[in-house]
Amino acid sequence: MSMPILNLAAYQFSPVGEPQLVRRTLGAAGRALGIKGTILVAPEGLNAFLAGEEEPCREMLACLRQVPGFEAMHAKESWSARVPFMRFKVKVKKEIIRMDYPTIRPVDQRAPAVDSQTLERWLDQGCDDVGNAMVMLDTRNGYEVDAGTFKNGLDLGIQKFTEFPGAVQKHLEALRGKTVVSYCTGGIRCEKATLFMRELGLTNVYQLDGGILKYFAETDGRHWQGECFVFDERTALSGDLTPRAQKA
């Protein structure tokens, strides 16, 4: 099956001084290019999910990179047979990923991250490089976990990310002394989740850099069970980033 549609997922925590101005600028650019998807603008950063033909999508990514502070914004790519969004929207929000915990500010600092290849090696050997036991901590909602998760991943049973702080505190003693790797679809939730756990006193905590989608792109998907839920009409992606509903 032909896969002519480029899908881009991009976020970055960086100060946005005039969110309404950025909303208008990016909205005009997206409408002119004819792409579909959603861009969230907040004082703490930008979060974008875009789809369309390759050239206008890459032009839109260039527009995002023209916002001061976002020159190095990275996008994860996948391909589909159809555009999985009905319309194009740019919204201003208080947070690009809502946690309702003002002291957690990825715009000021970034928690340590582990790359996909290192995580794959740790999972192969059953511990990190210094022999510490590992916990794979899923920061996603229950219906996302149902679609697929890392083998033996810890599911907190939450239904929205604002429930994460209370849920993870119930597991603190089980997490102490272990190497904790948090993961989510594209990495954005873990930017806050990992900082929060460090604030609670868990020192050996990492986020999976780029999330599940980057792990799929950079490894053979080993240690993952099922598919990865995505928030568009594709519903879920397999380990080769193939949309569930568009498999041949």
| Residues annotated catalytic, as ranges | 184
Cα separation, 67 vs 16, whole angstroms: 8
Who's near 224: CB < 8 A, 6+ residues apart? 148, 149, 150, 151, 212, 215, 216, 239
Between CA 44 and CA 52, with CA 58 as vertex, the angle to 5 degrees is 100
What are the tokens at 114? 């582990």
Instruction: Please measure the distance between the N-terminal and C-terminal CA atoms of the chain and give it in whole angstroms.
Output: 6
**Burial level of 152, CB count in 10 A (0-12/13-18/19+)?**
exposed
Strands of the chain, DSSP E: 5-13, 36-42, 45-52, 75-80, 88-92, 113-114, 134-138, 148-150, 154-155, 179-183, 205-208, 224-226, 228-229, 236-237
Dihedral, 11, 12, 16, 19 alpha carbons, nearest 10: 10
